[in-house]
Amino acid sequence: MNLPSRRDRCLELRFIQAMALASAIVVLTTGRFAMADFGFDSEKLKADDSTPISASEGRAQRVGPKLILKLANGQTITFADEDKCDGGAMRDPRCVIRRFAGYDGRIRMFLVSNVYWEWGDYDLVSEVTGSDVKLPEDPHFSPAGGLFVVVSARECCGENVIQMWRTRGGYSNLEWQHVPRGYALYNFRTWIDEDHVSLTVILHAGNGLQELPAALVYRNPGWHIEGPPELP
């Protein structure tokens, strides 16, 4: 069996990522983030964060291309669309649509999705302190809410990384990260408890690529990946 070339896999992943980034993130009644299918249309992307904005109960508002977040102390943080595009195509950070992804009242955090042409990232903003951290993928919070994991599976157009962040007092700090040493694309499944995260990983196995179970486990002195070896 002939394996697809790196270029072919990269092009396929670019298409998949473009479709994934064309999804709107809306806030559930429980205060958690969830995905809702969405077509990649720049005007609709700019406008369609009205549902999570409404659910924020005045904490977020849109004024044209500007997304305004209201902090607990009454100050505001503004994110604005960038329209410096080459021929109308979104090709670089100067051409980005910023969408409100939701507000989680349990952890008092805002999530903003930044959508580019071939990749995307997120801003996680504390309502309490205004602290803003840039994330390569959306955060998944632990059951107790003090930790969140970010799992970004990219062959191109972004970071291929697993990150563990700790949130305390309205500030988020990177506690640990893992960059695969070989070909490995990890995906988040669920938190099991505060010390265990269930993952899957796509890697070379047998005659092709396979998706296999993996886990992120905390044991003194830190976090460890458990699963099949990362092969070139």
Q: What is the pLDDT along the chain (232 residues), one digit of tens a residue?
A: 333 444 344 434 333 333 333 333 333 323 333 333 334 455 555 567 889 999 999 999 999 889 999 999 999 999 998 877 665 555 566 778 899 999 999 999 999 999 887 778 999 999 999 999 999 999 999 999 999 999 999 887 778 999 999 999 999 999 999 999 889 999 999 999 999 999 999 998 878 899 999 999 999 889 999 999 998 7
Listed as own residue / partner, the contacts of 89-95 with beta carbons closer than 8 Å and 24 or more positions apart are: 89/117, 90/42, 90/115, 90/116, 90/117, 91/116, 91/117, 91/118, 92/116
Kind and range of the H or E run holding 126: strand 120-126
State the pLDDT at residue 228. Answer: 93
3-state secondary structure of 17: helix
Q: What are the two backbone dihedrals, phi and then psi, of residue 57, each rounded to the nearest 5 degrees?
A: 55, 50
State the pLDDT at residue 100. Answer: 94
**Are 172 and 181 a contacting pair, CB within 8 Å?**
no
From the CB of residue 1, how many other CB atoms can be counted at a distance below 10 Å? 5
Structure tokens at 90: 């979104």
Structure tokens at 89: 């195509």
Distances (CA, A) of 84 to 88, 94, 98, 115: 8, 5, 14, 14
Within 51-94, strands assigned E span 60-63, 66-70, 76-80, 82-83
State the pLDDT at residue 7. Answer: 38
Contacts of residue 7, Cβ cutoff 8 Å, sequence gap at least 6:
none
State the pLDDT at residue 42. Answer: 56
